[in-house]
Structure 1
Amino acid sequence: MDLGGRIFELIDMRSFSNLWYWIVLAAMWSSLSHFVLGVPYDMVGRARKHAGQEMDDLNALVHIKARRMLMVYDRAGTWIVAGLSFTLSMLLFLGFWFGLEFAQAVFLLMAPAMIVTFLRMQFAGRIIDNTIQGTALCDAITRNRFYTQLIGMISVFVTSLWGMYQNLSLGVFG
């Protein structure tokens, strides 16, 4: 078999051997790490460095986003949690009980992202309840970003191990 055929065989439409899956995984974690509560992390660095108007902008934007997130949760939180729980349960069951690789792949994307979302909801509540502002807000955002990156590293590691296992056990490289 020629090299082109081998590469095409290697990158087929299955999830864990598809290059696009890994690009989506990397892009998702990059986006989740860069945007904390929808606020770009570079604003934190500018607010720490320049203070003044930059810090006021950061305080305003984070509080707006936190209030909005909590408002959405207050209005539809029960339905959102029920829907996501059903979806994750279905993906878990289809993926790991019936062996559907696509469901495994989507579950390994969604489950850690839902953990990050839960942490961000708690974070938004703390911001509003304690009216965190200024340098304390920058520190809190940095801490939340660190936990997001930690969850992301663990998620990518577990996903890559599972993907390698799937690819080797199904004979993709054989």
Structure 2
Amino acid sequence: MVAQNNRQDGTGSTVDWYSAVFELIDMRSFSNLWYWIALAAVWSQTSRYVLGVPYDMIQRAGRHGGEAEIDLEDMVRINCNRLLYVAGVSGLWIVGFGAMLMTGLAMLGFYYDVEFAQAVFLLGAPMIVVGALSVNSARVIRDTALSGQPLRKFMHRHRIMTQFVGMIAIFVTALWGMYQNMTYGALGQ
């Protein structure tokens, strides 16, 4: 009951805590500034780390060579081996649970019209593409034993592909979010 959730705030006015919380944290995802900040942060971090290696490390290796180049090659080797080990040991389980989760989110979001599920799906689905690109790139790096300039060039190409996926994902999410805001914002829901 609403009366149980109300209390005096010391000034004589009544505070409805549910209204205050839901006003502060808008539960409609696409009209919430925090969702767009999270979307930007996710894609910023995703394009900053290329196979788990900070992009500035790749640039430093290209500028200075020597020890920076050795550090880059070691870091890439460690991250590629780790990624391929995880994919080899539990890849099928990850794919199975990921498919189940994304199918559930897609059904909840687009069939049952749950906006939060739509928002999470639009954050997660492109990450599956980036994950597949990363596993493929790690396999290519390991199988061809890339090092030096070819490794840096390949890592740069991987970053460009990741940024392209992010650009498409942000564009689709923005279009869908504007559609949702115009449709449901006009209805006052």
- Please confirm whether the aligned pair reaches a TM-score higher than 0.5, indicating the same fold: yes
CA distance in 1, matches of 2:61, 2:153: 11
Q: Which amino acid aligns with 1:158?
A: V
Structure 1: runs of 5 or more not aligned: 1-7
CA distance in 2, matches of 1:171, 1:33: 32
Q: Is this contact kept in 2: 1:15–1:102, CA < 8 A?
A: yes
Task: Tell me which of the two structures has the higher relative contact order, counting C-alpha pairs closer than 8 angstroms and 6 or more residues apart.
Answer: 1
Whole-Å separation in 2 of the counterparts to 1:113 and 1:151: 9
Shift of 1:12: 2.2
User: Do the aligned partners of residues 11 and 123 (structure 1) sit closer, same or farther apart at CA in structure 2, a change above 3 Å counting?
Assistant: same
Q: Which amino acid is 1:91 matched to?
A: L
Gaps of 5+ in 2: 1-21
- Show the 5 A alignment for 1:88-107: 88-107=102-121
Shift of residue 13 of structure 1?
1.9
Note if 1:48 corresponds to 2:57: no
Aligned-residue offset at 1:33: 0.2
Q: Would you say the 8 A contact 1:47–1:55 is kept in 2?
A: yes
Partners of 1:127 and 1:172 lie apart in 2 by 51
For this pair of structures, how many residues does the alignment match? 167
- Identity across matched positions, percent: 51
Aligned Cα RMSD in Å?
A: 1.7
- Alignment deviations for residues 96-140 of structure 1 (CA, whole Å, 9 cap, x no partner): 111110110000000001100100000000111111111101000
Is 2:94 aligned against 1:84? no
Structure 1 residue 172 displacement after superposition: 5.4
Where 1:43 maps in the other structure, the secondary structure is helix
Of 137, 157, 167, 1:123 maps to 137
Normalised by the size of structure 1, how large is the TM-score?
0.92
Residues 11 and 17, structure 1, Cα contact 8 Å, conserved in 2: no
Question: Residue 122 of structure 1 aligns to which amino acid in structure 2?
Answer: N
Q: Residues of 2 paired with 1:80 and 1:95: CA distance?
A: 22
1:1-174 aligned within 5 A: 12-171=26-185
Give the stretch that moved more between structures: 109-118 or 164-173. 164-173
Query: Are the structure 2 counterparts of residues 11 and 166 from structure 1 closer, same or farther at C-alpha, using a change threshold of 3 Å?
Result: farther
User: Would you identify which runs of 4 or more consecutive aligned residues in structure 1 move more than 4 Å?
Assistant: 8-11
Q: Deviations over 1:112-171 (max 9, x none)?
A: 011001000000001111111111010001000001111101110110110010011002
